[in-house]
A and B are shown apart, each in its own frame.
Chain A
């Protein structure tokens, strides 16, 4: 994977039953406008469909939008599923994550968490940063 030769490719999805997709749609457009290639899976995805898309699309990162308070269960599952498939790509979480859960999720292998009100610049810079860091260290 080399971000300097081609645009960053990111898979975006909602994992599970939660239907709040406003943030996912906005972030998708933000990232596309910034020049990234966005593979937008949309609603009701499973760890399997996200792993498959990440592999098939040779994505550099996965972004999950969480608004259902299920992040402590679902996010570690997602990280494990990516690891089990040998996909060493950063996992970025957006949405409503209470501050006291941030450290836990970061310890469990989440690369970055973007809270409500994150600006376009913050979102784009964060994703570029974690993809780049991943390339340097990985």
Chain B
């Protein structure tokens, strides 16, 4: 037994001593990692309790971050507002009404400074959920840390930076797929060389599922995207074992308990096999599908919202029994508004109950070997492999080209829309019960206290942006932006250094996006059928 476990001996509530793992091999920590990435799993280290937060101005979110850290949260996760996610400044005409509403507004590096004020970036790991303009937000984070004397090599965290699923599901794209993939490859190359503790891409099934996919589609599309990033990075000249250990995943934990657990276990097995057999990875860490899990926002109901606390607990438990490395639990009021502080605290407490009271952390992969669990794992893998075969054929033997093709011809979007419509019809017809929505509806009389974003947020942010613009060196801004455009036109250059220079000159996010658009163009989706 390894000596670095959290306690000397693990036993049940009644004092029965427990082994670290039960059953036959391959055991947790052994290829293909179906049973978990590490031999003793949560005995050694609990998952990171990473709560996603962001609203209003950078100061508002900074206060919420500090509250989450005080309450025992162990990582930060930033939600940006829609204009920031779409590469638009707060004073852009498209931003009206959306500034600080669904996340925090970030226009310049000055906002990033305020967002992380009094938080030691050498100690905390930070996740930034942003995709289209991810490279720009990463540049702002690096500049902020370095202004505080923390070298970029010490920074630990995750950039979502998963552009492929934007065209498939979440729809927060800016540039067309291929130049966007250039930006992803550049950020992978940059962090591989200079930020060894950083995860440059979090390959995300979460949004695919929220858009209405099935569990098997979530698994298949996400891993296919993962293979596409691996192929893109190899095509950019990187060696698989140099970057693959820093890739990570992000899955949804929905309400169908065993299906979810099967999905998580299958994800690890598929990734390990493909990375070894198809992409020739040799470093054990390249074979490991590390993932963050978030409970399913889409499973939450506006009706009888407190019932969501039960849903979230069950979904979170599926994530833990599926072997997640980090977890966000949704707040019960999220079908109504952004989480209130009270609701966010209950959600974190739910994780703490699972971690410290239930005993499920005492044994690695406690469900391993159960016939139904193993069958579900196999079935998820079979269904995913059928999708991979389709995409591989579409791409003529390249998963990257297959994914591009699937985006171009609407394959992903249509598959997801069909699945979501089937689900909706089942609910409508009463074939699927959602408690409080289409059955057991009495008693919906309590109103939750919701978070309100004041109308003054937009005014405050516009003043801050104006202030930054008035105090910067316009000549330097223009020069750095011209360099960004110039380098965008030269695929042999890595764009990250030019973007960091522009950020340091106080160029806004929107200005840098525009400088890139001059070379890259923009992407528009066809209207839905």
Contact = CB atoms under 8 A, between A and B. Distances in A.
Is B truly associated with A? yes
Interface of A: 16-22, 24-26, 28-30, 40-44, 67-74, 77, 96, 98-100, 115-117, 119-121
B420 A68 contact: no
Contacts of B450: 98, 100
Nearest to B428: A120
Interface in B55-114: 82-83, 85-86, 88, 94-98, 101-102
Give the secondary structure class of B's interface. Answer: loop
Contacts of A43: 171, 525
A28 B528 CA distance: 9
A24 B332 CA distance: 24
Interface in B280-330: 298, 301-303
B94 to A, nearest CB: 6
Contacts of A26: 212, 420-421, 424
A29 B98 contact: no
A30 B428 CA distance: 11
A21 to B, nearest CB: 6
Nearest to B95: A17
B102 A22 contact: no
Nearest to B170: A19
Given A17-B82, A117-B437, A119-B438, A70 B528 contact: no
B420 A25 contact: yes
A57 to B, nearest CB: 13
B373 interface: no
A56 to B, nearest CB: 14
27 contacts: A16-B82, A17-B83, A18-B82, A21-B528, A22-B211, A22-B420, A26-B424, A29-B417, A29-B421, A30-B424, A40-B529, A42-B526, A44-B524, A67-B102, A68-B82, A68-B101, A70-B98, A72-B97, A74-B97, A99-B336, A99-B447, A116-B335, A117-B434, A117-B437, A119-B427, A119-B428, A120-B428
Contact of A73 (B97, B427, B447, B529): B97
Given A19-B171, A21-B171, A69 B101 contact: yes
A4 B416 CA distance: 35
B447 A25 contact: no
B253 interface: no
A30 B429 CA distance: 13
A138 B528 CA distance: 31
Interface residues of B, number: 46
A25 to B, nearest CB: 5
Contact of A42 (B82, B101, B447, B525): B525
Interface of B: 82-83, 85-86, 88, 94-98, 101-102, 170-172, 210-212, 298, 301-303, 335-338, 417, 420-421, 424-425, 427-428, 434, 437-438, 447, 450, 453, 455, 524-529
Contacts of A117: 301-303, 434, 437-438
Nearest to B92: A17
Contacts of B86: 17
Contacts of A73: 96-97
Given A21-B171, A98-B336, 20 more contacts: A16-B98, A17-B83, A17-B86, A17-B95, A19-B171, A21-B528, A22-B211, A26-B420, A29-B417, A42-B527, A44-B524, A70-B98, A74-B96, A77-B97, A96-B335, A98-B337, A117-B303, A117-B437, A119-B428, A120-B424
Contacts of A67: 102
B102 A115 contact: no
Contacts of B212: 22, 26
Contacts of B427: 119
Contacts of A18: 82, 98, 102
A64 B108 CA distance: 32
A24 B102 contact: no
B169 to A, nearest CB: 9
Nearest to B172: A19
Given A117-B301, A120-B428, A69 B337 contact: yes
A22 B210 contact: yes
Contacts of B527: 40-42
A117 B528 CA distance: 21
Given A28-B528, A115-B302, A70 B97 contact: yes
Contacts of A29: 417, 421
B436 to A, nearest CB: 8
B438 to A, nearest CB: 7
A8 B420 CA distance: 25
Given A26-B424, A119-B428, A40 B528 contact: yes
A98 B335 CA distance: 9
A115 B303 CA distance: 10
Contacts of A42: 525-528
A100 B101 CA distance: 16
A25 B417 contact: yes
A24 B529 CA distance: 11
A3 B306 CA distance: 42
